[in-house]
Amino acid sequence: MIQLDYLEELERFQLALKRNASSIQSGEHKSPQTGQGMVFKDHKEYIPGDDIRKIDWKAYARTKDFFVKRFEEERRLNIHILLDRSSSMDYGNVNKYEFSAKLGLGVAKMSMNTNDKFNYSIFSETLTNISSGRRTNNISELVEVLNNTRKTPESRIEDCITEYSDRIQNESAVIIFSDFLADPEKVEAGIESLKHTKPIIVNVLDSSELDPDFEGDKILKDPESSSKLRTFLSRKTRQDYRSKMEEHVQELEEISRRNGAEFIQASTEDDIFQVLLSIWEKLNN
List the pLDDT tens digit at each of the 285 positions of the chain. Answer: 899 999 999 999 988 887 765 444 444 454 444 444 455 667 888 888 787 778 888 888 888 888 888 765 555 789 999 999 999 999 998 999 999 999 999 999 998 888 788 999 999 999 999 986 555 556 888 999 999 998 888 889 999 999 999 999 888 999 999 999 999 999 999 999 999 999 999 999 999 898 887 665 555 555 555 555 556 667 787 788 889 999 999 999 999 999 999 999 999 999 999 999 999 999 987
Nearest to 172 by CA among 87, 111, 83: 111
Taking only Cα atoms into account, the Rg of the chain, rounded to an integer number of angstroms, comes to 23
pLDDT at 132: 67
| Pairing mode of beta strands 39-45, 67-74 | antiparallel
Strand-pairing partners, residue 245, are: none
Helix (H) or strand (E) run with residue 80 in it: strand 78-84
Hey, how many other C-beta atoms are within 10 angstroms of the C-beta on 216?
8
Q: Are strands 198-205 and 172-178 parallel, antiparallel or unpaired?
A: parallel
Q: pLDDT at position 22, please?
A: 46
Specify the pTM.
0.78
Contact 44, 69 (CB under 8 A): no
Domain residues of the chain, as ranges? 5-20+76-283, 30-74
Which residues, in sequence order, are bridge partners of residue 78? 117, 172
Instruction: Give residues with Cβ within 8 angstroms of 213, minimum separation 6.
Output: none
Instruction: Phi first, then psi: give them for residue 270, nearest 5 degrees.
Output: -70, 155
DSSP string, 109-150: HHHHHTT-EEEEEEESSSEEESSTT---S--HHHHHHHHHPP
pLDDT value of residue 51: 79
Could you give the angle at which helices 5-20 and 272-283 cross, rounded to 10 degrees?
Answer: 60
Residue partners of 149: CB distance under 8 A and separation at least 6: 85, 122, 130
Q: Quick one: pLDDT at residue 221?
A: 56
Residues in the chain, total: 285
Which option is the CATH number for 5-20+76-283: 3.10.450.50, 3.40.50.10260, 3.40.50.1470, 3.40.50.410? 3.40.50.410
